[in-house]
A and B are shown apart, each in its own frame.
Chain A
């Protein structure tokens, strides 16, 4: 199977290990990914507080370039980009007036024919026989964040209050998935840059609750959530819980080398817990 693939800004910088691990597991799944040519920024959160039309037209221009090549879907692993693409297609489908304005702005007759896929939707069909090394029963909580599931009529992705897609994947590769009530709470978003006190409270709350639930690992699917939860634990004097992408954990179960999965890129060291995961 072959998909056009939209990495977005962060997968080529702060979320490099998401890109590496996602590429590595895709090879195992027999999924061929081809980076969308000439892609630009998805016009994330800040932009819809400046201009709703701009924040719809820019994702649409990226989708238009895929549509032009005759392809009908795109793989978008970054939760923020996924969200912008889904919102843009929703707005365009909802209003003929918006659709006409967008067409004028991108100088293209956009048919809105490209479906937006997140790897959690595709890779939930994990075939057990593919798992080379089932991981041991290490405690993990799945953290989805805001952008993947909300609002549900736009995202059409899992249950918005109690999503299960990542939980199911992690369970299939052998981990002990814990239930907790902070799966979709806000990770602190960009307050890291604008309001540090608020950031510390929001991010600290997620970390505290993960610890309270008994988690040894927090699994994530969003570059911003990963950076927020991982990078400031030391500064916030938190208990150092490794924050790993679900794709890295799948990669480990497929016997892919930790370095190839970018496990050495995290702030909170994860060697010890990975060793326990692999001991079975």
Chain B
């Protein structure tokens, strides 16, 4: 049975055990006020193998990947990569996400990558609005985007074949 810290090491090669709780990550984190467990607590919980506690928390899905924590960590821990690892582990182990809209967004981006070869902004944004029940209230802004030529109605397909060839090879090493 693997501990969470070993699992993290396996996914992103980072060592949570060298964290000594200085909390620089937490003071710089722009979303820590909304987090159930702030970054320093996530690190501590990972050391203590409190897996279910952190995989189900909103924290791992609220992380904006701004990398302020990674930049400032005196121990050189890539905390942002650890957040990625926790999202990947939660996804693999089908843990119910603390912020359900974020994994939906991730899957949508992957879908867009697979079928269009780039991010089809109107499709991704439109579906997310629909999903979060904000489709109607956001219509005026959407209309302005289209009027200004800032969003394309139809996507331009880009080398979908190459993307899918890469995805199928990546699957040899990592589950997607």
- Name A residues whose Cβ lies closer than 8 Å to a Cβ of B: 8-10, 12-16, 38-41, 43-54, 57-58, 61, 95, 101, 104-107, 146, 150-152, 160, 184-186, 188-191, 193-196, 198, 202, 227, 231-232, 235, 264-267
Which residue of chain A lies nearest to B70 when distances are taken between CB atoms in the complex?
A151
**A-B pair number, CB within 8 angstroms:** 173
For the complex, is B50 an interface residue (Cβ under 8 Å from A)? no
Residues in A whose Cβ lies below 8 Å from that of B110 = 46-47, 50
CB distance from B95 to the nearest CB of A (A): 14
CB distance from B116 to the nearest CB of A (A): 8
B141 pairs with A46, CB closer than 8 A:
no
Which of these, B13, B132, B156, B162, contacts A196 with CB under 8 Å? B132
Which of these, A14, A54, A185, A186, contacts B170 with CB under 8 Å? A54
Given contacts A44-B119, A195-B99, A57 and B67 within 8 Å (CB-CB): no
Residues in B whose Cβ lies below 8 Å from that of A41 = 112-113, 117-119, 158, 163
A105 pairs with B66, CB closer than 8 A:
no
In whole angstroms, what is the CA distance A70 to B132 when docked? Answer: 47
Q: At the interface, is chain B mostly helix, strand, loop or mixed?
A: helix
Chain B 80-96, CB-CB to A under 8 Å as 1, else 0, gives 11011001100100000
For the complex, is B31 an interface residue (Cβ under 8 Å from A)? yes
B105 pairs with A54, CB closer than 8 A:
no
Chain B 58-91, CB-CB to A under 8 Å as 1, else 0, gives 0000101111101100000010110110011001
In whole angstroms, what is the CA distance A248 to B70 when docked? Answer: 32
B66 pairs with A186, CB closer than 8 A:
yes
Chain B contact-residue range equals 35 or more
CB distance from A264 to the nearest CB of B (A): 8
Which of these, A40, A152, A194, A264, contacts B105 with CB under 8 Å? A194
Given contacts A14-B145, A194-B132, A40 and B101 within 8 Å (CB-CB): no
The stretch among B18-26, B41-49, B146-154 that forms the contact with chain A is B146-154
B134 pairs with A196, CB closer than 8 A:
yes
In whole angstroms, what is the CA distance A97 to B126 when docked? Answer: 39
In whole angstroms, what is the CA distance A87 to B97 when docked? Answer: 27
Residues in B whose Cβ lies below 8 Å from that of A47 = 106, 109-110, 113
Residues in B whose Cβ lies below 8 Å from that of A57 = 166, 169-170
Residues in A whose Cβ lies below 8 Å from that of B102 = 194-195
CB distance from A194 to the nearest CB of B (A): 4
Residues in B whose Cβ lies below 8 Å from that of A151 = 67, 70-71, 78, 80
A235 pairs with B141, CB closer than 8 A:
yes
In whole angstroms, what is the CA distance A41 to B109 when docked? Answer: 10
Which of these, B83, B119, B134, B149, contacts A265 with CB under 8 Å? B149
B101 pairs with A195, CB closer than 8 A:
yes
A sample of 19 cross-chain residue pairs with beta-carbon separation below 8 angstroms, ordered by A number, consists of: A13-B150, A40-B117, A48-B65, A48-B84, A49-B84, A49-B106, A51-B175, A52-B11, A54-B176, A107-B165, A107-B169, A151-B67, A184-B68, A191-B64, A193-B128, A193-B132, A194-B99, A194-B128, A202-B64
